[in-house]
Structure 1
Amino acid sequence: MLRADGDKSLQKFRVRSFLWLLAKTSFTLPRNGVACFTFHLNKNNVVLKSKRRNTMYTKLFALFCSISFALFSSGISTEAQVPTSAKIVFESWRDGNGEIYIMNADGSKEENLTRHGARDGAPVWSPTGKHIAFHSDRDGTRDIYIMNPNGRNVRKVLRNLSYREYPTWSPDGKKLAYTRSEDWSICIADIEKRTEESVAFTDIVGGFADWSPNGSEIVFIFVKPSDYRIHIINLKTGEQSELPLPPNIPPPWVEGRFFYFPAWSRDGDTIAFSWRTKGLHLMNREGEDVTKIIQGTRPAWSPQGDQLLYDTDQRIFRLDINSGNKTLLSRDGFGADWFDPATLPVEPNAALLTTQWGKLKQK
């Protein structure tokens, strides 16, 4: 069972038990007497050093320590700490391959979280800010992973290998929706149960799912022979609705008839989307009142719902929707997502599991 975080008290008990066992165990090495050992903890490993490294007994003692610590610390993970201020995650190729970066909401203090030779991309914050989901090909095939906000404790969501990309969190933090490119479908994974369910087909190169704030619907891109359409699926009934095309749209296969990256507003009344070469647009939930707001792509709403992150030419901007003012945040990045602890309804407890936090939010 994949858990977002281990139980903190259990973790402390395991560590204390290991140290107690170590303190109560005495080793007398024949002829050489008692060797002088120095050992410390390095993440989940015991590092042991001895002044008599070449004796068989020293090696046996080192093996004993390693096995004991592995048994007592099984399941210990790096504690996930919720950011104390607003943070933005994004993808950047500044190092020659896709990496996940984090920065402050004003664009300062950019930091590489993944530092991996694979392509990591499409990062999204969990509702509580305790985790970041993203896709990566670090195991040979692009798949969905989760990590802590500091880049540690990276783990794959599902066991079986498949081509999955562009994750989006359910509002309660229990599930992830994403595109499975093997059959071009929108799938939902239960994080704790590690199960997968296909809920809709996108046809070729569709997808880019986003979960509605109330958790009842998912908006995504469906590909038709001549254009891309924006669809909404009701997760309870399975029914799909196709939003109408914007007015004055060009004929099929003419530049501009392709839509990408739909994103629900925080209140669920508005959908932002990218219209190929024509920029970012807003429309209501019925697909009406289509309005262009700026040239750019990959919209992501601010936690307060009054601003949008977007990118153009691999530069990330923040747009104030009411005033139209834009601010450059990063000169080398795209696909940003925003988290602000100030918007959480309850002060998050770092010891809570994602599933427990979801239950809190429903009360």
Structure 2
Amino acid sequence: MKTLSAALLVVLAISCKDSKPGVSADQAETGSGKIAFVTDRDGNPEVYIMDGDGANPENLTRHDSLDFSPSWSADGTSLSFYSKRDGNAEIYRMDLQTRQLTRLTNHPATDVLPVPSPDGSQILFMSDRDSLSRNVYVMDKDGSGIRQLTRNAAYEESPEWSPDGSQIAFTRQLRDSSDTSHAGNGEIFLMDAQGGGVKRLTDKEGYDSGAKFSPDGSKIAFYGAQEDQWDLYTINADGTGLQNLTNDAIECYSPDWSPDGEWLVYTAGSKGNYNIWKINIRTKERVRLTRTSGRNEAPSWGR
């Protein structure tokens, strides 16, 4: 979340413009599945899970170091995330039944943003271990067999598998060599699961990141900046049909799909106060799921 840390010190639990005020979790319909997210309500960033309607939040990590970016296994039995509990950012997996924690990487470089594959055999992650920049890597589910998929000096982030595991979406930061006035423009790219066939998906002004495939693979949700405002967007998987979903007066970012593809869970707010919301793709109904001060972010909806 390097880009967000610099650009998004945001979130107020208010509703979005051009919409009715969001309703609280106890007014919402019963949600489905579990949502993992990160919150600093206990004093530092911890991984929590809650019901799909925001009820029953539970602290899973309970550690005084940063724990961030949870991602579900396809069968819902474990969460992968990264943590600085051993001195630098490494990737871990937690078995949700036993709460047993397994460290998967062990390298002096920064290893972050793990995403298990749909078949459970591999995990995507980002690392700067090649000293070029932060690039996309993949490893076997037990941390062995690490392979580098991208290799360039451009900063990259937010890897994501397609539902069938054949493609990987990720963000690559592009910069005009003559422009030193601001951070490079982030665009979303696609490649095959072996790192080949790289192609650019988005081509819009402003930084775009956080791509997530819909459960059926037909659409991709992401967050993007336009005129210094972060909103949620959807686009067809072939790059057509770009739509601003939130068009919000506050910051909206880090979307993830509900198992039925009808909702996106996301982070929204401003002025240092972030909460978790969800929005219906068709009706644009918004529901607030957390209601605390500080930061609630990086939601991931269990399939």
Q: What is the TM-score with the length of structure 2 in the denominator?
A: 0.77
User: Cα gap change, 1:151/1:231 in structure 2, threshold over 3 Å: closer, same or farther?
Assistant: farther
CA shift digits 1:29-54 (9 cap, x unpaired) = xxxxxxxxxxxxxxxxxxxxxxxxxx
2:72 paired with 1:125: yes
The answer to whether the aligner puts 1:307 opposite 2:263 as a matched pair is yes
Give CA deviations for 1:312-358 in whole Å, capped at 9, x if unaligned: 12110111111110110012411111125xxxxxxxxxxxxxxxxxx
- AA partner of residue 318 (structure 1): K
Query: Are residues 1:242 and 2:193 paired?
Result: no
Judged with a 3 Å threshold, the aligned counterparts in structure 2 of structure 1 residues 92 and 202 are, in CA distance, closer, same or farther, namely farther
1:336 aligns with 2:291: no
Larger Rg: 1
Higher strand share: 2
Q: Against the structure 1 CA distance between its residues 237 and 131, is the aligned structure 2 distance closer, same or farther, given a 3 Å change threshold?
A: closer
Alpha-carbon shift at residue 137 of structure 1 (Å):
0.6
Matched, 1:171 2:109: no
Q: Which residues in structure 2 correspond to 1:87-106 (within 5 Å)? A: 87-106=34-53
Higher relative contact order (CA 8 A, sep 6+): 2
Query: What's the CA shift string for 1:220-261, capped at 9, x where partnerless?
Result: 001111411111111247120012413xx3xxxxxxx11121
Distance in 2 (alpha carbons) for counterparts of 1:203 and 1:310 = 30
Tell me the TM-score normalised to structure 1 length. 0.65
Conservation of the 8 A alpha-carbon contact between 2:136 and 2:156 = no
1:230 is aligned with what amino acid? I
Unaligned runs of 5+ in 2: 1-31, 176-183
Which of 211, 214, 226 is the matching residue for 1:265? 214
Deviation (angstroms), 1:167: 1.1
What is the aligned partner in structure 1 of residue 276 from structure 2?
Answer: 316
Identical positions, percent:
29
Q: Is the 8 A contact 2:105 2:143 kept in 1?
A: no
Residues 1:139 and 1:150: Cα distance change in structure 2 (over 3 Å): same
Is the 2:90–2:106 Cα contact (8 Å) retained in structure 1? no
Q: How many residue pairs get matched? A: 247
- In the alignment, structure 1 segments of 5+ residues that lack a partner are 1-84, 250-256, 341-363
Deviation at 1:155, TM superposition (A): 1.0
1:81 match: none
Taking the TM superposition and a 5 Å limit, the aligned residue runs for 1:1-363 are: 86-149=33-96, 152-182=99-129, 183-192=133-142, 194-201=144-151, 203-225=153-175, 226-236=184-194, 238-246=196-204, 249=205, 257-276=206-225, 277-294=229-246, 295=248, 296-313=252-269, 314-332=274-292, 333-340=296-303
Q: 1:151 to 1:200 in 2, by over 3 A?
A: farther
User: What is the CA-CA distance between 1:150 and the residue it aligns to?
Assistant: 5.2
Equivalent position SS for 2:260 = coil
Q: RMSD over aligned Cα, in angstroms?
A: 1.7
Higher helix fraction (1 or 2): 1
Correspondence for 1:27: none
Displacement over 6 Å in runs of 4+: none
User: How far apart are 1:278 and its partner, in Å?
Assistant: 3.7
1:59-102 deviations in Å (ceiling 9; x for gaps): xxxxxxxxxxxxxxxxxxxxxxxxxx721110001122110011
3-state DSSP of counterpart to 2:221: strand
User: Is the CA contact 1:202–1:221 (under 8 Å) kept in the aligned structure 2?
Assistant: no
Q: Distance in 1 between matches of 2:302 and 2:37?
A: 12
Aligned letter for 1:269? S
Contact kept, 8 Å, 1:176 with 1:189, in 2: the verdict is yes
CA contact (8 A) 1:159 1:194 kept: no
- Counterpart of 1:32 in structure 2 is none
Q: Distance in 2 between matches of 1:116 and 1:278?
A: 31
Q: Which amino acid aligns with 1:337?
A: S
271-280 vs 151-160, which moves further: 151-160
